[in-house]
């Protein structure tokens, strides 16, 4: 079974620039999550999709972050404009509807904003 | 809302010594419990999970965790650690019902000294 694919692996941008991350979940997983992991901290949920609908985006900074899940499969997360404090690893995960099967994480995208 | 507290940010131990990584959670509803491991520059990998049934769960590499409902704890243990166990360990919780997002603790950095 293929895992959760994310790209790019690394990205360095200047503050105020825009950036986009891509995620392809495990086939058949209805739920997709984007997490932000700042160095030295645990991952924090940014947004959760159920198929192509948003379930929870309460911690997404909507003035600069946006996300979509096309046709309930792939997803993109965008930051515009980026700030220095956005430097983090952005993790994508997917799970079955019940969640009890566990959550599979991608390798993440390490973003550095300079 | 759920929350997770990992009581130790860093745990240094000698090789072949036993180790315990402590995790306490807070939730008003029934939960699933997870331990994830993150090796340097890698994504999160599921180590073990508690869904129901026996309160003692084991991983394939010698770790075990015990769900204690009265103490709302899910501590991770290993009787004899190896250099290769050096990593960041994250405790996480999700609701059995509802949105089922994973909520993580801050992480415990396990360092094995020879």
The mean pLDDT value for B74-96 works out to: 95
* Per-residue pLDDT at A102 exceeds 80: no
Minimal CA separation from A10 to chain B, in Å: 11
Dihedral Cα B35, B45, A96, A108, nearest 10 deg:
120
pLDDT at residue number A96: 80
Q: Is the per-residue pLDDT at B85 higher than 90?
A: yes
Confidence label for A87 from pLDDT (cuts 50, 70 and 90):
very high
Q: What is the mean pLDDT of residues B14-41?
A: 93
Angle at A92 between CA A87 and CA A93, to 5 degrees: 145
pLDDT at A51 over 80: yes
CB contact under 8 A, B107 and A42: yes
pLDDT at position A101: 62
- Is A2 or A23 the better-scoring residue by pLDDT? A23
Q: Over 70: is that where the pLDDT of A37 sits?
A: yes
Task: Tell me what pLDDT residue A100 has.
Answer: 65
B89 Cβ under 8 Å from any chain A Cβ: no
Strands A5-7 and A19-24, sheet pairing: antiparallel
Paired tokens of B13? 């131990």
- Chain A residues with CB under 8 Å of B4 CB are 42
Mean per-residue pLDDT of chain A: 92
């Amino acid at each position: 079974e293929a895992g959760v694919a994310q790209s790019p692996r690394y990205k360095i941008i200047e503050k105020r620039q825009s950036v986009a991350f891509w995620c392809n979940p495990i086939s058949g997983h209805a739920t997709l999550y984007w997490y932000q992991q700042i160095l030295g901290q645990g991952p924090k949920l940014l947004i959760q999709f159920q198929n192509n609908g948003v379930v929870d985006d309460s911690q997404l900074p909507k003035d600069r972050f946006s996300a979509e899940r096309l046709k309930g499969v792939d997803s993109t997360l965008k930051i515009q404009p980026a700030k220095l404090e956005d430097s983090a690893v952005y993790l994508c995960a997917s799970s079955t509807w019940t969640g009890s099967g566990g959550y599979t994480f991608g390798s993440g995208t390490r973003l550095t904003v300079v | 809302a759920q929350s997770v507290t990992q009581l130790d940010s860093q745990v240094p131990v000698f090789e072949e010594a036993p180790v315990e990584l402590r995790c306490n959670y807070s939730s008003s509803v029934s939960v699933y419990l997870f331990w994830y491991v993150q090796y340097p520059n890698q994504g999160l990998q599921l180590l073990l999970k508690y869904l129901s049934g026996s309160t003692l769960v084991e991983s394939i590499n010698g770790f075990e965790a015990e769900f204690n409902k009265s103490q709302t704890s899910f501590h991770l243990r290993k009787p004899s650690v190896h250099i290769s166990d050096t990593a960041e360990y994250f405790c996480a919780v999700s609701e059995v019902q509802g949105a089922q997002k994973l909520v993580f603790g801050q992480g415990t950095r396990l360092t094995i000294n020879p």
